Chain A
Amino acid sequence: MAAPLTLLLIVAVTIRAVLFRSSLAELISERVEVVSPLNAWKRVVEGLALLDLGVSPYSGDVFHETPLMIYLFHFTVDYAEIVFMVSPYFVDCLSCFLAPLDRFRKQKYALESDRYPADCLELLRSPKEMFYIPLKVAMFYLLNPFTILSCVAKSTCGLNNAIIALFIFCTLKGSALLSGILLALATYQSIYPLTLFAPALLFFLQRLYIPVNLRRSSFWFFTLQYAFIYVGSLVVITGLSFFLLGSWDFIPSVYGFIFSVPDLTPNIGLFWYFFAEMFEHFRLFFICVFQINVFFYTIPLSIKLKEHPVFLIFMQIAIISIFKSYPTVGDVALYMAFLPAWSHLYRFLRNIFLVSCVLLACSALFPVLWHLWIYAGSANSNFYYAITLLFNFGQILLVSDYFYAYLRREHHLIHGLYLKKKDGTEATLVLK
């Protein structure tokens, strides 16, 4: 296990080091798919320059990182490449989390295996399969072209991913305090991880065998405790930013920027085209609609998946990365790293061929249509947005396919793998 992981790390580091030194790095760091106005390295450098001159880095309309991030780079700017090289390896912690997760599941299965029908045993994962999952997760993240591009472009998205990965790691390790603090940090970085509060809470409740029951005082006690850790650390971090910077400038410049979407540079998300076409007086309404869209799915998903908080985390991260206002391929890479963890769902996936074709074709078409639009001038923004739509359609199909497969597996675990209709013929499950 250690040997392949080391090999993987060496390969991943080599690829990145080679790309950092090649002429491609500059090209990649200009791509709109890879960097967004929120996390472009160019803008960080601008912010640092302003900070060094004693001006508030938010005084222009260029810099949109959080104060803690700029102070981090203030001290490490000379080692920026190293920071970006190292940050993906935090996500390796993701792979470590699966070890405790699996142990936990194994116990659960051992306890409950007599409850499942006999023919479902093949649905349960053997320890041997689980053994390789951390390696596969690490491979999926480190060798994913999306991650590599994002890393080479020095997009700070990699650091945000690292924070989220650490949060998941601490959550699964069962440390409510660290988990709350890291969740606050992730929220502070980009707001949207706020929706991960629900799955984290559900996970801790499940772990402590506290039933989700609104009338039970123990439920309320723990919820308040966790919420207090979370809100408390959020207040502390924000306060710290204020004292570092001496002003509240960063609130409109970071969070206002995320929420009101003033920068309509094309990216792989759904916002830019829509708001570029919009009449100004509808803007506020549709911004509310689009932003609520990101947060809204938390409620139905939490209700449906309250027994499966880890899967809920995956769903939430995927939804954030699809619907957030400035998505980049780095965000996509984060939830894709989870896919090997659900390899036992593979047999229930129905559209995986279609989805992989769509994602593959879109990834190739993004630069082609960008070239036609911006350089050749022969295509226009509609072409590019069509591909954006298709890419997001593929992502949504992927996520809903995994969701369906997960539910179906649960159904089979309870009712048996080979369902019969009342008249004895083989039954099929239909999602309606």
Chain B
Amino acid sequence: MGLLSDPNRRKALTNLLTRLNAPICMVCYLAAIVWFMGLAFEPFTLRTYMSENAMGSTMVEERFSSGERALSLAKEFDAHKTKAGGMPVEWLVKAMQARGLEVFTQSFSRKLPFPDENKERYMVRGTNVYGILRAPRAPRTEALVITAPCSPGNSNNQAVGLLLALAQYFRNQIFWAKDIIFLVNEHDLIGMQAWLEGYHHTNITGMEYSPLQGRAGSIQAALSLELSSDVITSLDLILEGLNGQLPNLDLANLFYAFCQKLGVLCTIQGKLQRNDWDTAEGYTHAAQTMMLMVLKQACGRSWGDHGLFLRYHIEAASIRGINGFRHYKMDVATIGRLLEGMVRKLNNLLERLHQSYFFYLLPSLSRFVSIGYYMPAFGLLAVILLLRALDLWVNLGAPALEAVDGVTEAEQPSGPGVLTVLTPVVISHLTGVALYLLPVHLQEMAVEHFPVSETEAVVLTAVAIYTAGLALPHNTQRLLSGEGTEQGWKVLKLTALLYLAVLLGCTALINFSLGFVLAVTLVPITASMTPHMPKALSALAMVLLSPAFTILYCVFIYQELIEAPVSVSEGWMLFLSVISQGILDHALYGSLVYPLLALFVYPCWLMFWNILFWS
């Protein structure tokens, strides 16, 4: 308590912090970036290991061998799919019933708030088919789910074929202690959402669906399968779920362990693992893999059908077959054995996966960075905001203490202070609310008056409101209190800094990547913003580091990392589609990134914009 109660030491500390504020902040920022980049360096990461006893020590022997049958089922499915022009419900029901499952269907319909141009859908109507294999060895209180999406075109047929072949094989085994649900869902995530909401008797997104006729126990884990060709060269594991949520690391470990055992090439973020961590290429490779994970997690959408399970406290991952690396080839039977092994280990679980980490980043499948290692990188950025706030606080307090001759002078700032701070805060937030509500609600009006489609109307309205927000608020405090005072902007900046710190802190706890990406771009400009800087230059800098530009940069960096670089105009089109996808994700699945940006981050950034034009 010495620091808190001894005035001399306190004074020394505050003096140090205020005098060296700028250098300390600079060092913190650089340290944060270096720390973050260092996370991908192999000696600083931990080797993954299986924490769950029930999955680690028990041996299973995989015997699945009906790869040919899976492929013929896939062909049959394909033929029926083309004939039905969509999900061949009757054929699937029959096929599952023939394999001894209890089969049920669920129909659902959903009208999107505006047409989805990426997937070309507006009024969605579909059916999910699922079959339950009842556990012969235990009371039916727990379940596992294997899903395969029924995609349009001729993709993903092999996944459905393998699903059916696995069902047939599993039916003949006696060791199942958990019900196994085989689900074929239509319209990817929308069907998944309908099925999960039906299963858990909730309705959070306004979906219309028929209630489920058959249920199994509480779902412990789920695997989603995506296979589009007969021959697979490698398997990709996808973990990022809705709002950046990740499944327990043990699920990834399980996948990795079986890939090792069966000699299957496995990738994460589509990148193979390299062993030369001590070379520059090796490090760059790991850094790229990690950056891809950060970007995917930050955008808060579900990157596979598994992503929606995570919300219901169900550990889930997607496994995607890739046909690209020429030398290695494996047949469907090997993938079947891999899935068999994983499901059998999951079948052995005595409680939900909880032993291993939930907060992690993966520079490769065999290495991980836990929360304790990556949080300091964010912490260093947050400290900058707090240090600046402390500096302002000392600055604001100093004149009041020095004014020996009058009490009246110390009283002065509090009077107009409240009003000058409150007005910009309220106006910024109202702009944020407009940005959140208007794009979707005004689309009809926009379509009437401008020659654009609904989707374009929504996105362009959002961009227009965002830009209009820059012009709007910085005149307001002058209307109310005449001249903006020196005290005024300092109080506003203090408020805005603390607000931003709390906001980013909360975001980083829920979704580290999003918090970190926002902090990297927002912190430098917000920490240094004062009204006395050259207006044009700092305005440009602020705009270039605003939340919207952050999204734009992320789009370019992401394209660069997946080795599909785009030109500026393509990038712009991608940026627009990312915005529309963000709004759709929010409306359809409840992703929180769009409301977070519109209702909190953007208004907070506007407050700093306001400070710049304080006069």
Residue ranges of A at the interface with B (Cβ–Cβ < 8 Å): 122, 126, 129, 347, 350-351, 353, 357, 360-361, 364-365, 368-369, 371-372, 375-379, 397, 428-432
Contacts and interface: CB of A to CB of B under 8 A. Distances in A.
Nearest to B494: A353
Instruction: Specify which of B311, B389, B407, B498 lies most central, judged by the most chain A CB atoms within 10 Å of its CB.
Output: B407
Contacts of B352: 377
Query: Shortest 10 CB-CB distances between A and B: which pairs?
Result: A378-B358, A377-B313, A368-B506, A431-B5, A364-B502, A428-B7, A353-B393, A122-B407, A361-B502, A364-B506
A365 B358 contact: no
B514 to A, nearest CB: 13
B407 A365 contact: no
Contacts of B410: 347
Nearest to B353: A377
A144 to B, nearest CB: 15
B5 A432 contact: yes
A364 B504 CA distance: 11
A432 B6 CA distance: 8
A96 B311 CA distance: 50
Given A376-B245, A378-B359, A365 B393 contact: no
A430 B498 contact: no
Contact of A126 (B407, B498, B505): B407
A361 B310 CA distance: 27
Nearest to B396: A353
Contacts of B8: 428
Contacts of A365: 505-506, 509
B313 A351 contact: no
Contact of A369 (B5, B390, B498, B509): B509
Given A126-B407, A364-B505, 9 more contacts: A350-B7, A350-B10, A368-B510, A372-B509, A375-B311, A376-B313, A376-B510, A397-B4, A432-B5
Nearest to B499: A360
Contacts of A351: 4
Contact of B390 (A353, A360, A428, A432): A353
A344 B35 CA distance: 46
A366 B475 CA distance: 36
A193 to B, nearest CB: 30
B380 interface: no
By DSSP majority rule, is chain B's interface helix, strand, loop, or mixed? helix
B401 A347 contact: yes
B272 interface: no
Contacts of B313: 375-377
A353 B497 CA distance: 13
A372 B311 CA distance: 11
B578 interface: no
Interface string B313-334: 1000000000000000000000
A18 to B, nearest CB: 15
Contacts of A361: 501-502, 505
Nearest to B357: A378
Interface string B3-19: 01111101000000000
B6 A430 contact: yes
Contacts of B358: 376-379
Given A376-B245, A430-B5, A371 B510 contact: yes
Candidate in B10, B310, B502 with the most chain A CB atoms within 10 angstroms: B502
A347 B509 CA distance: 36
A368 to B, nearest CB: 5
A360 B7 contact: no
A122 B246 CA distance: 59
B389 to A, nearest CB: 8
A299 B81 CA distance: 82
A357 B386 contact: yes
Contacts of B501: 361
Interface of B: 4-8, 10, 245-246, 310-311, 313, 352, 354, 358-359, 386, 389-390, 393, 400-401, 407, 410-411, 498, 501-503, 505-506, 509-510
A311 to B, nearest CB: 20
Contacts of B7: 350, 428-430
Interface of A is mostly: helix
A8 B7 CA distance: 39
30 contacts: A122-B407, A126-B407, A129-B411, A347-B401, A347-B410, A351-B4, A357-B389, A360-B498, A361-B505, A364-B503, A365-B505, A368-B506, A368-B509, A371-B510, A372-B510, A375-B311, A376-B245, A376-B313, A376-B358, A376-B510, A377-B352, A377-B354, A378-B245, A378-B359, A379-B358, A397-B4, A428-B8, A430-B5, A430-B6, A432-B5
A16 to B, nearest CB: 19
A379 B313 CA distance: 12
A432 B8 CA distance: 13
Contacts of B510: 368, 371-372, 376
Contacts of B393: 353
A357 B498 contact: yes
B601 to A, nearest CB: 14
Nearest to B400: A347
Contacts of B401: 347
Contacts of B498: 357, 360
A429 B8 CA distance: 10
Contacts of B407: 122, 126
A214 to B, nearest CB: 34
A357 B354 CA distance: 33
A339 to B, nearest CB: 14
A371 to B, nearest CB: 7
Contacts of B310: 376
B333 to A, nearest CB: 35
Contacts of A429: 7
Contacts of A353: 390, 393
A326 B451 CA distance: 61
Nearest to B4: A351
A365 B382 CA distance: 15
B208 to A, nearest CB: 20
A376 B509 CA distance: 12
Contacts of B389: 357
A19 B354 CA distance: 38
Contacts of B354: 377
Nearest to B245: A376
A368 B507 CA distance: 9
A360 B502 contact: yes
Contacts of B509: 365, 368-369, 372
Nearest to A125: B407
Nearest to A428: B7
A428 B310 CA distance: 57
Contacts of A369: 509
A376 B354 CA distance: 12
Nearest to A356: B498
A122 B410 CA distance: 11
A157 to B, nearest CB: 25
Contacts of A371: 510
Contacts of B386: 357
Nearest to B394: A353
A183 B421 CA distance: 41
A430 to B, nearest CB: 6
A369 B508 CA distance: 11
B203 to A, nearest CB: 14
Nearest to B315: A377
A347 B404 CA distance: 12
Contacts of B506: 364-365, 368
B241 to A, nearest CB: 10
Contacts of B411: 129
